Structure 1
Amino acid sequence: MDAALKLFAEHGYKATTVGAIEKAAGLAPRSGALYQHFKGKQQLLEAMLDRELSEMDELVHAIAMLPLGDLRAELTLLARWNLASLDRRAELIRFVRREADLLPKRQRAKLYSRLVARPYAQVVAWLESRFREAGIDPPDLDALALILIESMSSYRELDRLFGQIPGQVDDGRFIDAWVEAVLAIAHQRGLS
Structure 2
Amino acid sequence: MTTSTRERIVSESLRLFADRGYAATSVAEIEAAAGLSPGAGGLYRHFRSKEEVLASAIREHIERTRRQISDVLHNATTYEDRPLEIRLRMTCQAGLAKMREEQDLIRILFRDLDQFPNLVAEMREGIVNPLYDGIATWLSQQPEFEGIDEDWPAVASVLGGAVVNYWLANESMYEPPTRIDEKRFVSSWARLGLGLVNLEHAPAP
TM-score by length of 1: 0.86
Q: 1:53-64, aligned counterparts within 5 Å?
A: 53-57=62-66, 58-64=68-74
Q: Is the 8 A contact 2:140 2:146 kept in 1?
A: no
Does residue 97 of structure 1 match 2:110?
yes
Tell me the alpha carbon deviations over residues 39-64 of structure 1, each in whole angstroms, 9 at most, x when there is no partner.
22122122211212211120221233
Tell me the alpha carbon deviations over residues 146-170 of structure 1, each in whole angstroms, 9 at most, x when there is no partner.
1111111111112211221244322
> Is the alpha carbon distance of 1:149 and 1:116 closer, same or farther for their aligned partners in structure 2, counting shifts above 3 Å?
same
The 3-state SS of whatever aligns with 2:121 is: helix
Does residue 159 of structure 1 match 2:170?
yes
Partner of 2:142: 130
Q: Is the 8 A contact 2:144 2:197 kept in 1?
A: no
- In 1, the alpha carbon distance for the partners of 2:91 and 2:29 equals 38
Instruction: Give 5+ residue unaligned stretches, structure 2.
Output: 1-9
> Is the alpha carbon distance of 1:96 and 1:151 closer, same or farther for their aligned partners in structure 2, counting shifts above 3 Å?
same
Q: Is the 8 A contact 1:62 1:81 kept in 2?
A: no
Specify the code of the residue in structure 2 equivalent to 1:112: R
- In 1, the alpha carbon distance for the partners of 2:180 and 2:73 equals 26
- In 2, the alpha carbon distance for the partners of 1:184 and 1:27 equals 55
Q: Say how many residue pairs are matched.
A: 189
Specify the code of the residue in structure 2 equivalent to 1:159: N
Q: Is the 8 A contact 1:131 1:137 kept in 2?
A: no
Q: Is the 8 A contact 2:169 2:176 kept in 1?
A: yes
- In 2, the alpha carbon distance for the partners of 1:73 and 1:176 equals 9
Q: Which moved more, 1:123-132 or 1:16-25?
A: 123-132
Q: Is the 8 A contact 2:21 2:108 kept in 1?
A: yes
4+ runs deviating over 3 angstroms: 129-133
- In 2, the alpha carbon distance for the partners of 1:95 and 1:189 equals 42
Partner of 1:84: 97
> Is the alpha carbon distance of 1:184 and 1:104 closer, same or farther for their aligned partners in structure 2, counting shifts above 3 Å?
closer
Partner of 2:5: none
Q: 1:1-192, aligned counterparts within 5 Å?
A: 1-57=10-66, 58-67=68-77, 68-69=80-81, 70-105=83-118, 107-130=119-142, 134-138=146-150, 140-190=151-201
- In 2, the alpha carbon distance for the partners of 1:60 and 1:80 equals 18
Specify the code of the residue in structure 2 equivalent to 1:116: V
Tell me the alpha carbon deviations over residues 119-151 of structure 1, each in whole angstroms, 9 at most, x when there is no partner.
21122122233379632221x322221111111
- In 2, the alpha carbon distance for the partners of 1:122 and 1:45 equals 25
- In 2, the alpha carbon distance for the partners of 1:150 and 1:141 equals 13
Instruction: Give 5+ residue unaligned stretches, structure 1.
Output: none
Identity %: 28
